[in-house]
Amino acid sequence: AILVKGVKQVAAPITVKVPAAGGYEVSGPVAITDAVLNTADRDFTQVTSTIEMLVSSPLKDFKTDKIDFQFLDMPGTISTQFSMTGDAYTIHPTQVNLEVGTIAARTSISRKSDKKLEGKLEVEQLQVTDILRALTPDEEQLYGGTVQSFETTFSAVNGNLRDTLEAEGSFALAELILDGKSVEDEVLKAANDMPILEPAKKSDEDELEPAQLKGAFEIGEQKIEIDKAQAPFKHFTIEANGEVTFDKDVDLTVEVVFLEETAGSLGLGVTPFTEIFGGLGKATIPIAVEGTLPDVEVRSDNLEWAKRATGISLVEAVVTTLRDAGAAVVETAEDSMIDDDQKKDRAVG
């Protein structure tokens, strides 16, 4: 519902028709100046617009190319069209332009018993803090960053979003902050807990151009599943998979992946490890991100890393590398089965 809390001026040169076939039709522009509107307990001030209106028995339609408004401390404009029929409420493609970014949306809500809600939402260049201030103005803001792009299609039952919301889409985020800390820096700090690796550091180029974390997601059964999110840096890539529930429980596996051209430099001069990493073409350091927002722990998973070193155990990888290098330090099971006499005969021969 929209509540008009005040308006400086209204002009409405409308036309009313009563067709011979019956019914009615009210049409014309409605111009409002410097109004205060409230919806979802949020005030929009300095609202000024001209809205083209058509109200008849089968259709009610409202359209405007521009609504000027002020929300919190952000000025913006909206172009939109809203219509209502006996079957559905429809918000046609709508564009919201703010100083800091844009929002595009369309949606429809069934007026039938199924109450089906479906639509599409696109966001570009919005700050996480601004989004959260709009949604939860009375809560302490513990998160930050930039939503460089976000796109999703969704469906649900109106009035029961939590249990019925289903969605899929993609995102690109940058400079994420959790409880005052850089998520990016916390992941690299955990990766550097690995005792045999040189520190994973961002290059000068990385510092100048913030990395984008890009990925896909699905929403259903009261959780968000994140798939193959990646943030590329000059010498490594951060990858993330896992889920976040509607109750804010986080269970993510984040990996710091060093690619072939840098993997060989990670062994601190210890040949077996250098050969393992270089031979694989990459070294992957798993990071566990677990907890309930905002209390989330970011830590390196050393045991998991050891298991995954080459797709086999770390010990097997070292043995294989030494054997391939021709090192005379590995006695195979086959050699151990040769008895002393056979060894002597072979030595005489």
3-state secondary structure the chain: CEEEEECCEEECCCEEECCCCCCCEEEEEEEEEEEEEEECCEEEEEEEEEEEEEEECCCEEEEEEEEEEEECCEEEEEEEEEEECCCEEEEEEEEEEECCEEEEEEEEEECCCCCEEEEEEEEEEEEHHHHHHHHCCCCCCCEEEEEEEEEEEEEEECCCHHHHCEEEEEEEEEEEEECCEEHHHHHHHHHCCCCCCCCCCCCHHHHHCCCEEEEEEEEECCEEEEEEEEEECCCEEEEEEEEEECCCEEEEEEEEEEEHHHHCCCCCCCHHHHHHHHHHCEEEEEEEEEEECCEEEEEECHHHHHHHCCCCCHHHHHHHHHHHCCCCCCCCHHHHCCCHHHHHHHHHC
How confident is residue 311, by pLDDT bands cut at 50, 70 and 90?
Answer: low
pLDDT at 111: 93
Q: Which residue has the higher pLDDT, 335 or 56?
A: 56
Q: Can you give the pTM of this predicted structure? A: 0.78
pLDDT(199) > 50:
yes
Kindly indicate the confidence band of residue 203, based on its pLDDT and cuts at 50, 70 and 90.
Answer: low
Among the listed ranges 1-5, 83-87, 113-117, 338-342, which one has the minimum average pLDDT value?
338-342
Instruction: Supply 298's token pair.
Output: 């970011």
Tens digits of residue pLDDT in 247-296: 999 999 998 887 655 554 554 333 444 444 544 556 677 889 999 998 99
Q: Are 178 and 143 in contact (CB under 8 A)?
A: yes
Residue 207's pLDDT is what? 67
Which residue is it, tokens 């005489």?
Answer: 348
Reported as a single tens digit per residue, the pLDDT across 103-120 is 999 999 999 999 999 999
pLDDT score, position 190: 84
Distance from C-alpha of 157 to C-alpha of 274, rounded to nearest angstrom: 55
Residue 161 β-bridge partners: none
Number of neighbouring beta carbons within 10 Å of residue 298: 21
The pLDDT tens digits for 41-97 are: 889 999 999 999 999 988 999 999 999 999 988 899 999 999 999 999 999 999 999
Output the average pLDDT for the chain: 82
Highest averaged pLDDT of the listed ranges 6-20, 132-146, 239-253, 331-345: 239-253
pLDDT at 268: 37
Helix 314-324 vs helix 271-280: crossing angle, to nearest 10: 100
pLDDT at 191: 78
Q: Name the most confidently modeled range: 134-148, 204-218, 219-233.
A: 219-233
Identify the pLDDT of residue 332. 45
